[in-house]
Structure 1
Amino acid sequence: MTNSREQDFDFVVVGAGNAGAVVAGNLARSPARPRVLLIELGGDNAEAKLRIPSERFVNPYVNPNIVLGYKTTPQKYLGDHILDYLRGTGLGGSSIANFLAYIRGTASDYDRWADLVGDDSWKWENVVERYKEIENLHFDDDHDADGYVKLKEGVHGFKGPVDLTLPSRSQWPKGLDIVMKAALDHGWPLNPDQNSGNIIGMASVTTTVHKGWRVTSASAYLSDPPSNLVIWTNIAATKVLLDHTAGNKPRATGVLLADGREIRARKEVILSLGVVDTPKILMLSGIGPRDELRRLGIPVVVHSPRIGKDMIDHPYLVLLYGSKTELGTRVELQQNKELVSTARAQWLRDRTGQDAQLNTINLIGFLKLDSSRVSYDELDKLDSKTKAYIKKPDVPQYEFYTQGYIPGDWDTAANGPQCLGMAVMLMNPQSRGSVKLASKDPNAMPLIDPNYMGHPYDRQTMVNAVKEAMMFARSKGLQPHVKGKVLAPESEDDEVVWTWVKKELLSILHGVGTVMMGPKDDNTAPTDTNFRVRGVDGLRVIDLSVCPTITNNHTQATAYLVGHMGWKQLAAEYNLESPKGSPRTASRQHHL
């Protein structure tokens, strides 16, 4: 990537993930052409193999160089288990390492966001217009007779920089029809358009895949960068530089790099490091909870007690059942080594074939619990506003993902030719966690405590969601196809299920909230709705750490939105105007 001897820039953006790439790319391409520096800890992620769509679920495991191997603290409510908390690194951030799902959330999420922060720009009616500016949706409507996949008019974008694909019914692996029909017979509703503003129901999933490529924030916003955008990779920023003589408040003037260089920002420093590393760098800079900083010997510049607090994350787990029938991926495409090798060669040659589409088409349902099947009194114990929100008709209590596939260690002789995989993810978790410094050493791993299952509502809802998945596995529509449990609780007894949940729970890595934005009259909120860090001039946070609530989705889409909203705010304040032309350039033809 481009290097530069000049150390002064108009804007310095730290972090090239979903949000940071959006901010830096749009700033640099604005007609005002400010000089922008984008600093990224990881590499350029230029290898083609990092963007193979078929490896959507294993990318960070077969390519460990694209993730930071963080771990949680021992989780109190999970028998003190320590979980992986991987964070994407390098250009594209977590968009190079995630599971590719692009799901916006539901209208009530954003209306609630607007209410929590006192800013109507976050209402769904406004947010949907911003999403349309981000997206370039590819969908071939085959007008299937059952109406399984159909776009709602007026709510989608077709000219934005981020290429998305929504598979039509005719593109589904044949077995998905079996699963969808079984789900509808089971009583779960159909959702023909999951990104329409109402997320409830079973749906075909939109993914960040196009023309055989994994689409990342880097491919969408950083390809062929203009000369005024300088990108430094494999460089760590360890501290925000603060000038205490500029006025009543300290002013961010740049960043300190791990190699000792001081980089200056004439206008602003923008942190886009995510839910873990953004609060980390703020606290290393003396911005955070006074007592915690003093305990580590860090001089306190701004006492901001909630930095690193209020962490919210979606936990999930996986159930596996043997299947007598192909319910998704064609078995021979994963079991025949010769076919697998031939497919890889084909993808490397022209981005077509099995590796361009395998595992990219599946079903996700965002669902409410059925009171006729399970009881959930913990919902009624929540405060009145939270309870009313969760009871809204478009707000789910859990996510149910399903696909037929072949795990690497699948025993076909014992379990059948294919696996029915089901993932259950908790929506609207009430537990709150934290990110703290372990040391003032910038290289020390932070203390990440999502506090999974810390709230009774979360425990009861997750147990019930697992029971719903087990009921579905033995439903009338699936019974002819399911062979038996491979990874699931032994029974649907609440205590048996809870014991199993504690052992099997995982993080889906959707953390938000550690530098949470708040309304004008809440001085304890670390940031305001313009993304400014309270108590400091010239410093913003534009990433998922500012979210005041966790959206009901896979938060990749939310991260793109936050980046875009942050860019729009900067453009308005500095009269930068919107970029002319799309930042998407050669990303369709080649990788970065």
Structure 2
Amino acid sequence: MARVKRPAVRDPPLTNVPVRRSNRRGAAVKAPNAEPEMVELSNNSSSPSMSERDERNEVENGEDGEHEGEENGEEDEEPQRREQEVEEEEPTTQRCSHGCSHGTACHTAYSLGVGQRGSSGRAEKLAYPFTQWTLQFYLVLMPHLSWDVASSVEGSEKEREGQRTWKEAPNYTFMHEATKARKISVYDYIVIGGGTTGIPIATTLSKNYSVLLLERGGSPYGNPNITKLANFGSYFSDNSPDSPSQQFVSVDGVVNARPRVLGGGTSINAGFYSHGEARFLKVAKLMNERLINESYRWVERVMVFKPILTRWHSALKGALVEAGVTPENGFTYEHILGTKVGGIIFDQNGQRHTAGDLLQYANPKGLHLLLHATAHKILFKNKGRTRPVAYGVVFEDASRRKHRAYLKGRQMDEIILSAGALGSPQLLMLSGIGPKDQLHTHNIKPVLHHPFIGQGMVDNPLNEIFVPSPVPVSQSLVDIVGITKSGNYIEAVEGFNLIGARLSDYQGYSYEMGGFIFEKVNYPQSKGYLELQNRNPADNPSVKFNYFKKPNDLRKCVLGVKVILKAIESKAFSKFKYPNMTIQDILDLNVKMPTTFPPHANTSSSLEQYCKDNVKTIWHYHGGCRMGKVVDGNYKIQGVDSIRVIDGSTLIISPGTNPQASLLMLGRYMGVTILSKRLASDKAK
């Protein structure tokens, strides 16, 4: 399916963060004639590690790297020598595309039009007096320029294509299997979870500090089941340990999935991209409007595209307008009432672009990314302290060998937990922070009784209707959305087996000749909980969402289904509906599908019952480390130091029609916020 692309760019300098450029010895120096100050884009040292002697001592303490004292309930002794014994690597310079040795800073400045060439043809210095205007031009106007105008600033189209698309894995020199990791290593930041928020955070922080990014899954690159639009959903039925999707079934009986792959949900979802609403920004404590907008654009330059609608989706768009989901808003990322075309993360070749693509922004000398690295425990110090302090992580590689990564021990070093709505509360409990009854049940030494961890789990219920078509359809995922006044989001896919049913389950029809139209209930009031099932972090916790426990959620579902039925009967959609097929026929076809509760009912007695029997997930579950209950407005865990949670587990509401745009933005926003404060602090010292 043809897609329209927008030009890609390199990571622009941040405009609200002070500069800290380094000389060869690492001392902070000011840029010549520097008026507006920017983040340092020079290389910094790669992650240091402990001495070989310490590695031998670690092995002697146990095969899995756990100290005996810790097993006896004693606090793990923090290495006192780590700052003195790290192998500091002198910064190296990289030659930029202009032939000089000024590295990334030179390339970025020259590509922005603020670099000046010397007699040798190299970019000899930065024309800082022009930086502020150029950055405004670059950040605000560039995304809207035509290809011809953009090419004069960004370079050749061939270079852009090299940045935007690849069929195999990109050359990320900082990405390795965890089996190649040292037994012990030391960093400024440790980010757990290489997903939708973890990647933007780690990438941003790597500009100036050493960052370890732990991802429990593998790489999406080179796997056509992930990267090709035509193969969407094939991984949901793959229950192997290497599957990018880990299936779980909630206590409610609804089959669900959590990502287990670099890129997180962006590697397995349906790809729709739409900004969150103003209400989300308020409850998420995101107040800097300029940084919000810049963070969205930072994402969109790399991985978001404008779809070209198929005939089926065009007909549905008209049908929704005809059904009263007005006005028709055209193409926009913004969250507005009515029917609109949104962004997608598939390019014109049907190639998926994930959060992993944002790693092209990373400083390769600052970031260390490990794949198949399962975090088992976050380490805390609490002896002689009023509050526990996070200082390290124990993780396991694919060979079942344990490793330890420590913070360097400086005041602003942090562990950032971005393991998702299931993974983050689960890992906190496994590390001794959570409800005391949960810790006691599983014989986990308590670090802090935190009763709200694992509470407030919410999943937005989905109810879909399959509509067989008398004429052929294409294969297309979510390209449009109807945002209703009643609190529903109407979306659709065509030509895909969305529910994973057998061909015979379609009762003489075929998913290849039809589409699924579904509605999502926004702001559900029904809430549930998450509990540990065992102490294995690779296993799923137990989750209950309590779908439709609150009557208002069921009322919203009925209203959403009514909008879908009205759209199906519209004149705009008539070409894609059998003329002799009634609405009752369509509902009866759907209730006989094997995914309903109970399966193979003969008829749909009421829309309320249809909602209950047909409830599914749209994979937008959230909660477990909710804002205001577990984390504060800076995403720091209340009652604990040197650790934050930044991911979907903190959400009070699922942002917008689909949360991925807001979570990608959140990762960048918080990365810039953390980096800005730390650089300002370092500069003051």
Q: The TM-score by the shorter chain falls in which range?
A: 0.7 to 0.9
Report deviation, 1:316.
0.6
2:194, 2:418 within 8 Å by CA — same for their partners in 1? yes
Q: Distance in 1 between matches of 2:537 and 2:468?
A: 47
Secondary structure of 1:451's match? coil
Aligned partner of residue 669 in structure 2, secondary structure: helix
**What amino acid is the match of 2:425?**
P
Structure 1 letter corresponding to 2:388: P
**Aligned residues with identical type, % of pairs:** 23
- Cα offset for 1:20? 0.8
Q: 2:483 aligns with which of 366, 389, 397?
A: 366
Q: Cα distance, 1:446 vs. partner?
A: 0.6
Question: Which amino acid in the other structure matches residue 418 of structure 2?
Answer: S
- Residue aligning to 1:210: 347
**1:8 corresponds to which letter in structure 2?**
V
Q: Give 1:551 deviation, angstroms.
A: 1.7
Alignment of 1:122-141 (within 5 A): 122=287, 127-136=292-301
**Structure 2 counterpart SS, 1:462:** helix
Q: Contact conserved, 1:435 with 1:447, CA < 8 A, in 2?
A: yes
Q: Tell me: higher relative CO, structure 1 or 2? Use CA pairs within 8 A at least 6 residues apart.
A: 1
- Is residue 200–residue 365 contact of structure 1 (8 Å, CA) maintained in 2? yes
Match of 1:260 among 398, 402, 405: 402
How big is the shift at 1:183?
A: 2.6
1:46-57 map, 5 Å: 46-49=221-224, 50-57=226-233
Is 1:39 aligned with 2:214?
yes
Mapped pair 1:435 → 2:572: no
> SS of the counterpart of 1:86?
strand
SS where residue 364 of structure 1 aligns? strand
Residue 269 (structure 1) aligns with: 415
Superposition pairs for residues 361-400 of structure 1, below 5 Å?
Answer: 362-369=479-486, 397-400=487-490
**Matching residue within 279, 283, 288 for 1:108:** 279
Distance (Å, rounded) in 1 between the aligned partners of 2:211 and 2:369: 8
Partner of 2:190: 12
Q: 1:185 aligns with which of 311, 322, 338?
A: 322
1:448 is aligned to 2:530: no
* Contact 1:110–1:123 (CA under 8 A) maintained in structure 2: no
Is contact 1:103-1:194 (8 Å) kept? no
In 2, distance between residues paired with 1:184 and 1:280?
43
Give the letter for the 1:400 counterpart: I
In the TM superposition, what is the alpha-carbon distance from 1:184 to its structure 2 partner? Answer: 2.2
Contact kept? 1:13, 1:271, Cα under 8 Å: yes
Closer, same or farther: CA 51–494 of 1 in aligned 2, 3 Å:
closer
The two structures, once aligned, show a CA RMSD in angstroms of 2.9
Structure 1 residue 253, shift from structure 2 partner? 0.7
Q: Secondary structure at the match of 1:232?
A: strand
2:203 is the alignment partner of 1:25: yes
In structure 2, the residue matched to 1:92 is 263
**Counterpart in 2 of 1:150?**
none
Residue type of the alignment partner of 1:188: V
Cα separation, 1, equivalents of 2:511 and 2:214:
49
Indicate which of 630, 651, 668 corresponds to 1:564. Answer: 668
Q: Which residue of the other structure, out of 652, 656, 672, is the alignment partner of 1:548? A: 652
What are the equivalent positions in structure 2 for 1:216-231 lying under 5 Å apart?
A: 216-221=354-359, 226-231=364-369
The count of corresponding residues between Structure 1 and Structure 2 is 471
Structure 1 pair 501/436, CA: closer, same or farther in 2 (3 Å)? same
Distance change (3 Å), C-alpha of 1:110 and 1:315: same
Larger radius of gyration: 2
CA distance in 1, matches of 2:607, 2:469: 22
Aligned to 1:67: 244
| Cross-structure match for 1:378 | none
Cα distance, 1:256 vs structure 2: 1.4
Out of 456, 459, 462, which is 2:554 matched to? 459
Deviations 1:93-143 (A, max 9, x none): 1211111111112233323x16xxxx4x3476763343233322xxxxxxx
Match for 2:227: what amino acid? R
SS at 2:276 equivalent: coil
Q: Does residue 1:425 correspond to 2:520, yes or no? A: yes
Provide the C-alpha distance between the structure 2 equivalents of 1:575 and 1:274, rounded to a whole number of angstroms: 28
Match of 1:302 in 2: 448
What displacement does 1:515 show?
0.6
- Write out per-residue CA displacement over residues 337-374 of structure 1, whole angstroms, 9 at most, x where no aligned residue: xxxxxxxxxxxxxxxxxxxxx415732211123xxxxx
Instruction: Find the counterpart in structure 1 of residue 304 from structure 2.
Output: 164
Which residue type is aligned with residue 645 of structure 2? V
Q: SS state of the match for residue 109, structure 1?
A: helix
Counterpart in 2 of 1:500? 610
CA contact (8 A) 2:316 2:567 kept: no
User: Which residue matches 1:382?
Assistant: none
Go from structure 1 to structure 2 and tell me whether the alpha carbon gap of 1:72 and 1:57 turns closer, same or farther (over 3 Å shift). Answer: closer
SS at 1:294 equivalent: helix
2:660 is aligned with what amino acid? Q
Work out whether 1:409 is the aligned partner of 2:515. no
Deviation by residue 1:215-244 (Cα, 9 ceiling, x = unmatched): 111122258860331111112111110111
Check the 8 A contact 1:188/1:202 in 2, yes or no.
yes
Q: Is the 8 A contact 2:275 2:335 kept in 1?
A: no
Which stretch shows the higher mean deviation, 544-553 or 90-99? 544-553
**Structure 1 residue 314 displacement after superposition:** 1.3
Shift of 1:249: 1.2
- 1:46 CA displacement: 2.8
Change (3 A) 1:163 1:445: closer
State the distance in 1 between where 2:670 and 2:251 align.
35
Q: Which residue does the alignment assign to 1:321?
A: 467
**TM-score when normalising by structure 2:** 0.64
**C-alpha separation in 2, matches of 1:461 and 1:504:** 14
Secondary structure, aligned partner of 1:324: coil
Pair 293,4 (structure 1): closer, same or farther in 2 beyond 3 Å? closer
1:244 aligns with 2:382: yes
AA at the equivalent of 1:571? L
Q: Is the 8 A contact 2:332 2:342 kept in 1?
A: no
Is the 2:236–2:245 Cα contact (8 Å) retained in structure 1? no
Q: Deviations over 1:452-500 (max 9, x none)?
A: 1121111121122112212322234334541134544699x99522333
Deviation at 1:567, TM superposition (A): 0.6
CA offset at residue 66 of structure 1?
3.8
**What SS does the corresponding residue of 2:631 show, helix, strand or coil?**
coil
Q: Distance in 2 between matches of 1:235 and 1:242?
A: 20
SS of 1:275's partner is: helix
Q: What TM-score, normalized by structure 1, do the two folds share?
A: 0.73
Give the equivalent residue in structure 2 for 1:516: 626
Aligned counterparts of 1:88 and 1:557: Cα–Cα separation in 2: 16
Provide closer, same or farther for how the CA distance between residues 193 and 310 of structure 1 changes in structure 2, counting only shifts above 3 A.
Answer: farther
Per the alignment, do residues 74 and 108 of structure 1 end up closer, same or farther by CA in structure 2, a change over 3 Å counting?
closer
Distance 2:517 2:426 in 1: 35
Amino acid at match of 2:246: G
Report the Cα offset of residue 271 of structure 1. Answer: 0.8
1:67-101 CA distance string (max 9 Å, x none): 343423331xxxxxx22221111211121111111
Deviations 1:510-535 (A, max 9, x none): 122211122xxxxxx21111111111
**1:279 aligned to which of 416, 421, 425:** 425
